A and B are shown apart, each in its own frame.
Chain A
Amino acid sequence: MLSKKTRTRIVFMTFLLAASVLVVFVVLKSLEENVVYFFSPTEVHSKENISFNKKIRIGGLVKDGSIINNQTSINFIVTDLNNEIIVSYKGSLPNLFSEGKGVVAEGKLKDKKYFIAEKILAKHDENYMPPEVSKILKKTKEQ
């Protein structure tokens, strides 16, 4: 059915593909920390060698009712429903930044509970719906 030449090529190709999968896996695993775009509050809490003066990014949800607008800065809490970090930021916020929605903050950790952000990005989730549907969902959730 398959000639000897074809069979040899199949064997060679399978070996090559398996080797490539391994290489890609090893490369991605070793770059893990750089591939991750942000750390969640839980990841920040559990990491042992986190640096306090290196620029990092944290992400999660803006805790409901946690946004405080000072004269000089804006403070809010980033939560992943397990752990929290207080974020302080001076500057303009993206349009989609709001309570209960996703956020990614870039800056430096003062300590494991306090983060000073230099840049704020809004993160939206995978849900797409018209405003009317969203209102109905909110009502049923509150009931």
Chain B
Amino acid sequence: MFKNFFPNKILSFTNKLFSILIVLMLLFLFLGLIYALFLSPPDFTQGDSVRIMYVHVPASFIALGCFGFMGIASICALIFKIKILPLMAKSLAPVGSVFALVSIVTGSLWGKPTWGTWWVWDARLTSMLILFIFYIAYISVWKFVDNYEKANKISSIIAIIGSFNLPVIKYSVDWWNTLHQTSSITLTSAPTIHYTMLIPLIIMLIGTILYTLIVFLMKYKTEIMKFKLDKRKKEN
């Protein structure tokens, strides 16, 4: 299966997969939004402003997940020198950074009616902003450094250092007193979110993952084609 991500197979693989992924994504997001905006109940404390959660939580999940993948891919690229890994990381960065921004903006819109403020410098919010800055730094290196090997090395180091921020983001609400509440969904205990809200949240999460996968594959295809073209140019 993994052979499909290699340059010679990726183009045919993604073409077959694309239509299926797009249909599934539209299905999940459409169902998810109907459920989230209309069919799910208001919250006992927050009322209808809880509905921002159905966008905020999936966005945050993707923002962290993408950077995690980028970190692992960068470490493996530096150690094992696998050529497709930097291209994969480079293809994850744009969609991940956009969702990091969506997380921050939707969080801010949610904070005003519930907490009473657009922003606080607590550990959770500050570390998410740092994540977004790391994303911008990573993308900028690829954009502004001309030499491929140099850009690869610098961006990989940015991805690896930035990865240390990920456990800080995740556990910030447990390690310190923060305004942001603790996790409602954990691996060790039962969810503190009622099933009538958990189900639309999961549907939205799956739809968002599918969207991320589609955008990633589109960018990855382009990067592979560029890489092959540059290689051919150098050989001539």
Contacts and interface: CB of A to CB of B under 8 A. Distances in A.
A126 B183 contact: yes
B15 interface: no
Interface residues of A, number: 39
A129 B197 contact: yes
Interface in A14-65: 16-17, 20-21, 24, 28, 35-40, 59
Given A20-B164, A133-B44, A128 B116 contact: no
B33 to A, nearest CB: 18
B115 A121 contact: yes
Contacts of A9: 78-79
Interface stretch (B137-145, B188-196, B215-223): B188-196
A28 B117 CA distance: 25
Contacts of A125: 181-182, 192
Contact of A127 (B122, B160, B184): B184
Given A6-B79, A10-B79, A39 B164 contact: no
B42 A24 contact: no
B194 A128 contact: yes
User: How many B residues are at the interface, by size bracket?
Assistant: 35 or more
A24 B164 contact: yes
Contact of B79 (A13, A20, A120, A126): A13
A128 B179 contact: no
Nearest to A94: B116
Interface of B: 41-46, 50, 53, 75, 78-81, 113-117, 120-123, 160-161, 164, 168, 176-179, 181-184, 192-194, 196-197
Interface of A: 6, 9-10, 13, 16-17, 20-21, 24, 28, 35-40, 59, 93-97, 101, 104, 120-134
